[in-house]
Each structure stands twice: as C-alpha cells, then as structure tokens.
Amino acid sequence: MKFVATEDIAAPIETVWARVSDLEGFEDRIGKRVGQIARIPPGPPGQGTSWTGKAEIMGKARVVKVTVATLAAPTQLVAEAGTDGMTVTIQVDLKELSPRLTRLTVTSEARARSLAARLMLQSAKLARQTMAKRYKARVADFASQVEKGA
C-alpha cells in the first residue's frame, strides 16, 4: 500500500530541510506517544541511526524498528521501518522551485513479508481513502508549521 502527498512550502529549501532532518525533534514527539524508545548508536542521529520501541498498530502492541537509510542534504531523507513481517519505507524529497518556494513530497509504502502482515494490509486497504486523507492532512499540517516558522 502506497501513499503520496505533495505540498509547496513558502520557505527556502534550507529551512525546510532543517525541519525535515530534525531527527531528534521527531524522536521527542514520537517518544511522547509510544513511551520508551532507544536510539542506536547513542549520540547525534544521522544516516544509519536506528530507533527501537513499542507502538500500538492495528490495536496490538508491536516492536517497531526505524532506521535512517538515506540522509542526502538538502534533498532527500529515506527511513525504513519494520515490524512483525511488514516493512514501511518513508521517503521525503525536497525540490527547490524558487529561492523562497520548496516542493515537499512524502511517499510511504508498506509491504508485507508474512501472511499475517498481508491480512493486516488487506484490512487497512478497506479504509484506504480515509487513511489517504489523514496522511495528506498531516503532511499539509507539517508544511504549514514549517511556513509559520520560516
């Protein structure tokens, strides 16, 4: 299952990249939602850094591991997450449209590696439109926050 959202942000690409690549800020916000998470290796996050924690997914507590696969300033961030036979790839691409305008494209793709994960994705596909609207709204909210801070 794949979701794509695109937003144009009235801010320079460097400003948008600073917010997109603020991995410690994302870690803090996620830590408040899921409780305890562990960063490996300790120290400043960067390419290759991973986080492990427990999150409720589809009504069940699951161990999730997220790894920063690509960190190519100022245009691309790719993170890979995995849990219980499922992998999710999140790709953030930035494109400078003008000195004060940046296009943000966020793509998330979930793939099943087990039968249980396939069943979970099948049930999620039933709510695809609702999930797509929520996904686009979250990306739009993030873009709005970046513009306000620019």
**Structural domain harbouring 57:** 2-149
pLDDT range class, residue 30, cuts 50, 70, 90: confident
Question: pTM to 2 decimals?
Answer: 0.90
Q: What is the pLDDT of residues 92-128, one digit of tens each?
A: 999 999 999 999 999 999 999 999 889 888 988 899 9
Domain count of the fold of the chain: 1
Long-range contacts of 46-54 (CB under 8 A, 24+ apart): 46/71, 47/71, 49/23, 51/27
Cα-trace Rg, the chain: 16
Supply the CATH number for residue 22's domain. Answer: 3.30.530.20
Q: Mean pLDDT of all residues in the chain?
A: 92
Report which of 147, 121, 150, 148 is spatially closest to residue 7, judged by C-alpha positions. 147
Indicate whether 61 pLDDT > 90: no
Alpha carbon distance 32, 125 (integer Å): 28
pLDDT at 89: 98
pLDDT at 73: 93
